[in-house]
Chain A
């Protein structure tokens, strides 16, 4: 079937309109549908991240989801609903407020939910030490495997030192 408007291209859009209880139908090609403003996707990029996020997170709401939508960050006042619409957090505290809700988003977007990259020196807390300990443990295992027990013992002492440091930092 050809488009009813241009009669050239194939009709790929089937349009049903009900105005004042009167039903009209039209078969148009995509171009004519867009030109006549009948195609909802013509403006903007429908696949922008924000729009997709909105789609993922705004299905029909049950009561639990309604509760989620009302959830609000106590530092910046951003509601979960605002977040799903804008796709942007309002402040660092939002991450804690919406932690349960955003974990599945991270899983979808990144396939991961745990940071594995750079850690800031001052604000990294004990994470930097933890990473260092992990690396040393691997090194120690390698040393043991190569039967270099002297080196393994040295590394073990280093690990102990770091563990002490970690404890102190946690307390302080």
Chain B
């Protein structure tokens, strides 16, 4: 139990905190891609070149008073690297083996700076709820400070020169993670997806590119990075997201008297409370229903932050970390059910 408590307290601020519109928007994220002009990009760089980049970025960051923890990915055992992936602090590719891969993380785990990922620098700021502008302010400030020390690859014509042409220009990827159970219940999610993609935005499942929606959670982000200002990109995402929030709210109102939906919600709650074993996918879908039940006033004895917390905690590396050892799939499913029951009774 002691171990478990430690795991709860080790949750990132962005997932356990509350923010504006957190009923529907779970988190906001800003990511900037930057490269150093004098070094070849990580996809073709040799060990020595990667190390030099790593040193240069480290020097620049430690001279600034940003209070970041410096982590060399190669120093971490696989399980710890997986934990960082599950917390959305590093990308899955960054957790794979390779030299010169670093990450800088702040105490609240809302800032993460990956070094030698696809680009030399991937700076990310995560905030709970709908806070893209705030996240952008922080990211831009860190970017300014880095730029004082480092020569970024930049051209007047094409802006920041990134490794992949899909990031060139601003190097900005702004995204929000939204929970849309009612739109899914009313079969409107598919329509939403196609509408969103016509507005220059991409929509994906919880675990990134190509993944399907699990637990009714979607990530929406800008696709175009060249030719618009950062503010235009962020405002576009802000306005589309607030429209999605409206639609989801309306759909929820429409479900208020739907007996079948109420029944589904209560049944989902029952399964979560009493299952002996549960896969993470099933758990996510049921947790989503419970969260909807809380928001709609159907379930009253559960903390609404449960969905966000459990979304991270029930993933394989976290379950294993909490139990202090490797677990096979069957053991994990059993421990996952236990963990959820403990959390729901707090």
Contact = CB atoms under 8 A, between A and B. Distances in A.
A114 B157 CA distance: 5
B41 A122 contact: no
A127 to B, nearest CB: 5
A103 to B, nearest CB: 9
A92 B165 contact: no
A88 B41 CA distance: 9
Interface residues of A, number: 37
B185 interface: no
B43 A86 contact: yes
A125 interface: yes
B158 interface: yes
B10 to A, nearest CB: 33
Interface string B176-215: 0000000000000000000000000000000000100000
A123 interface: yes
A106 B158 contact: yes
A109 B226 CA distance: 9
Contact of B40 (A90, A95, A113): A90
Interface residues of B, number: 41
A49 B147 contact: no
B158 A125 contact: no
Dominant secondary structure of chain B at its interface with chain A:
loop
Contacts of B164: 49, 87-89
A114 to B, nearest CB: 6
B166 A116 contact: no
Interface stretch (B84-92, B227-235, B279-287, B288-296): B227-235
Interface string A73-111: 001101000000011111110010000001001100111
Interface string B136-152: 00001001100110011
B158 A110 contact: no
Contacts, number: 121
Contacts of A119: 154
Interface stretch (B167-175, B248-256, B266-274, B310-318): B167-175
Contact of A49 (B153, B154, B157, B166): B166
A112 interface: yes
B264 interface: no
Contact of B155 (A86, A89, A91, A95): A95
Given A76-B40, A91-B40, A127-B156, A118 B165 contact: no
Interface in A114-130: 114-127
Contacts of A78: 44
A24 interface: no
A115 B40 contact: no
B118 A111 contact: no
Given A89-B163, A106-B158, A117 B40 contact: no
B161 interface: yes
A88 B224 CA distance: 17
Contact of A124 (B143, B154, B225): B154
Nearest to A45: B210
B124 interface: no
B227 A89 contact: no
B300 to A, nearest CB: 43
Given A76-B40, A86-B43, A115-B169, A110 B210 contact: no
Nearest to A108: B165
A87 B148 contact: no
Interface of A: 45, 48-49, 53, 75-76, 78, 86-92, 95, 102, 105-106, 109-127
Given A49-B164, A114-B158, 7 more contacts: A89-B164, A91-B44, A110-B224, A115-B155, A116-B227, A120-B152, A121-B147
Please give me the 7 A-B residue pairs with the lowest Cβ-Cβ distance, nearest first: A112-B227, A115-B159, A92-B153, A117-B170, A110-B226, A91-B40, A76-B40
